[in-house]
Structure 1
Amino acid sequence: MPQESPISLLKQPSPYAPELLRQLAEECEFKSYPKGSRFVFIHAGEHICQFIRNGTISIENQENNLALGIASAPVSLGFTSALSEKLLLRALDECEVATVPLDTVMARIEEKQLWEIMARHMIIVTNKLFIQNEMATAPTTYDMLCYQLQALAKEPESIRQQIAAYQYIQDRTNLSRSSVMKMLAALKKGGYIELEQGKLLTIKHLPARF
């Protein structure tokens, strides 16, 4: 069986998130929030978890304003305090969210003996953050752009139609708009990618070097 690419692993949802949401948020009140709403993991000094039952969110780093990824419900995040201090979630469409104090969540995990499933979930989340770090620290600007183009190609059609390719890449890297636009234009001219009004339609083949 061929090994899955890091990009494919990045875009795969955690198979444990639905069960964690069911077990840990079944008694919680879910509220509907409009597109653009933001959710943090620390409020009034208290660590909290966010459970998204419906909708799609962007995971972002508050320290550098870079987007780390896009996730569709069900989403269960906030179990790791050290990471949560740096992250926020932004709704990309209408979302149903329940906010639960971390202490309450941990008590329920102990009560229901969910340590194994939570550990497996956190391994997947940590692996995704590692892949994101590898993408953000690629050796060349072209490598960084290729990683992000491949990630964009794995996004749902609804996401690809919302955002221009250059904007998706800029949101996730520190690359300048001019350098991103230059490389995208060259790839399009060379027939390596197809863009329509700036939106990525398909990747035919990405050359090893720019």
Structure 2
Amino acid sequence: MVIGPPKRPDEAINILINALQPLGERIHVIARKRIGWGTREKPYIYLVIEGEVSVLRLSDGLMLGSTREPHVLGFTEMFFPVRSNQIRAETECTLIRIDASRVISEIDRLNLWRAVAELSTYHTTYMVYRDLQIVNQRTPPVVYQYLQEMDQLPDEQKHRINILSYIQERTGLSRSSILNVVAWLKKHKYIDYQRGGYHLKVNNLPN
């Protein structure tokens, strides 16, 4: 069974970006550059204004999730600075970096804690969704789930992301186990893709 991701709280995200944008510094980040959550003394909130970013686990580079603009990242790390992950720009990005101490006072002043709660709940729910996809699951259903996710991507992303990299970065499955499933699906015409595993098209997937 293919399970869909939680719905993004777009209204809460837009409220937070509109309120916090004047407080920060606009930065431009090249593709594949990694960014920390701040210093030991000064955590940051990041507003994603343009581009695609992901969050990687530091211990093994596993991709915990990715998102496009508009988005707000950093509230969890601001309140609970474990420093076990970092941001990576997947494309050229424009971000606004804001000192977290300025963020808290502005949220207090404008009474925006509900928007913060909605966004934080979305991030938590997304991690539950991700765990349901990969924890204690057999390889084929995990691959099916991510193929379905890839099939929903815009064409521009399908042209630059291949199937193997997309699934391996998010699951830690071995190259051979992914390729075995993908090759079987293509042989039986459940999916199609161009040379190199780009531009996936899902025709149908087994139950």
Q: Which amino acid aligns with 1:30?
A: R
> Aligned equivalents of 1:191 and 1:83: distance in 2?
47
> Aligned equivalents of 1:29 and 1:196: distance in 2?
41
> Aligned equivalents of 2:85 and 2:14: distance in 1?
21
Q: What is the aligned counterpart of 2:17 among 18, 21, 27?
A: 21
Deviations, residues 114-144 of structure 1 (Å, cap 9, x unaligned): 1111111211121111111211214211111
> Aligned equivalents of 1:138 and 1:76: distance in 2?
31
> Aligned equivalents of 2:91 and 2:200: distance in 1?
22
Deviations, residues 45-89 of structure 1 (Å, cap 9, x unaligned): 432211111111122222331112221111101111337622322
* Secondary structure of residue in 2 paired with 1:46: coil
> Aligned equivalents of 1:6 and 1:42: distance in 2?
34
- Which residue is equivalent to 1:31? 27
> Aligned equivalents of 1:173 and 1:45: distance in 2?
33
> Aligned equivalents of 2:5 and 2:127: distance in 1?
14
The residue correspondences of 1:127-206 to structure 2 (distance < 5 A) are 127-197=125-195, 198-206=197-205
Deviation (angstroms), 1:7: 2.5
> Aligned equivalents of 1:110 and 1:116: distance in 2?
11
What is the root-mean-square deviation in Å for CA atoms of aligned residues? 1.9
Scaled by the length of structure 1, what TM-score is found?
Answer: 0.88
* Secondary structure of residue in 2 paired with 1:122: helix
Evaluate the alpha carbon distance shift between residue 199 and residue 83 of structure 1 in structure 2; reply closer, same or farther with a 3 A threshold: farther
Q: Which amino acid aligns with 1:96?
A: T
Evaluate the alpha carbon distance shift between residue 8 and residue 110 of structure 1 in structure 2; reply closer, same or farther with a 3 A threshold: same
Percent identity, please: 24
Scaled by the length of structure 2, what TM-score is found?
Answer: 0.89
- Which residue is equivalent to 2:100? 102
- Which residue is equivalent to 2:121? 123
Deviations, residues 8-46 of structure 1 (Å, cap 9, x unaligned): 53xx54312122111012232212222122222132443
Deviation (angstroms), 1:200: 4.0
Instruction: Tell me: higher relative CO, structure 1 or 2? Use CA pairs within 8 A at least 6 residues apart.
Output: 2
